[in-house]
Amino acid sequence: MSIDGINRAPTLAPLGDTGPAQAAGKPAGTKGYSEIDIETLLGAKNGTAGGAKSPTDGLKTPLPTDPKSKEAALTNLGGFSDTQVSADIFSFMALFQKLAQQARDTARTQRTSDMQAQVSSLQNAAEKMKDAAAERLTAAIVQGSMQIAGGVMQMGLSGMSAKQTIKGAQMEAAGGNNMAQISKMDAQGKFAADPVSKAQFTTASNNQIAAGKELGAVGTKYQGYAQASGSISGGLGGIIGASFTHKADLLEADKMNLETQAKVAETGVQHANDMMQQMMDVIRDVREKLSSIQQASIETNRGIARNI
């Protein structure tokens, strides 16, 4: 059963001076009802003087002038059914949805990769922090050990200095007492008959005083050594500790680089999430459009069925 006007190309009147013009009751050779008077619409009567042609006379007719060609073109266009057109639309929308889904899967894979990179960077940064802490601990231990060693050396040298200083003071005091005793004895006339003994006692006392002063100088020297040893050990501890502190600082710089990489990976994760959300919105929109097209087709078929 064929329904007039459905799935059948309509019979259109050809454009020109034959056929439809005569069917409409017009004499042959007159313009048909489908032809447009181009000259009248474009105002060719206002052209140049002397009967010159209008500039629009050179325009070509966009459609073929052959009536048979026009009918063939219209017949071919009318040969496409709504089912074929709908199928093409559905295919395009399905392909578009598939592309969106693939983009979403790619974004999901990228998000997983960025999350793993972020976790790995943060873990490596934590390890760098541990290594830096260990280096700083080593530096502190070295500096403390050197300070302790310097303190022990300073204590030993200071003890020797004190010992020598005390011994020298005692000898110097003893020599001074001997000199006082010799003077007293000389005043009493005990050395009048034996001046040699006086000279010997005097020399011995002077030597004792000189030895005491020398020991005092040695004590002062050891005191200087003690102060120098403290400074030297402190300087050596600072140098050795500075090398470990430098390593710790380099590890801290590596940690900052890893944290920066983790931040970049976090940004990538956020971008992937946004991309996944956008693609999901596209997929929902495509599904809604497909549903709307299918519902419109169903309603159209229902309307046609009711009119049969």
**DSSP sequence for 190-224:** TTSS-HHHHHHHHHHHHHHHHHHHHHHHHHHHHHH
Cα gap 133→248, rounded to integer Å: 7
User: Is the pLDDT confidence value at 19 over 60?
Assistant: no
Enumerate the domain spans of the chain. Answer: 20-79, 93-307
Please tell me the pTM assigned to this model.
0.50
Tokens 């052959």 — which residue?
66
- C-alpha to C-alpha distance for 70 and 1, rounded to whole angstroms: 28
Q: What is the pLDDT of residues 131-160, one digit of tens each?
A: 999 999 998 898 888 888 888 888 888 888
- What does the angle CA 169 – CA 157 – CA 155 come to, to the nearest 5 degrees? 110
Distance CA 119, CA 127 (A): 12
Three-state SS for 300? helix
pLDDT tens string 155-206? 888 888 888 888 888 887 887 787 777 777 767 776 666 677 777 777 887 8
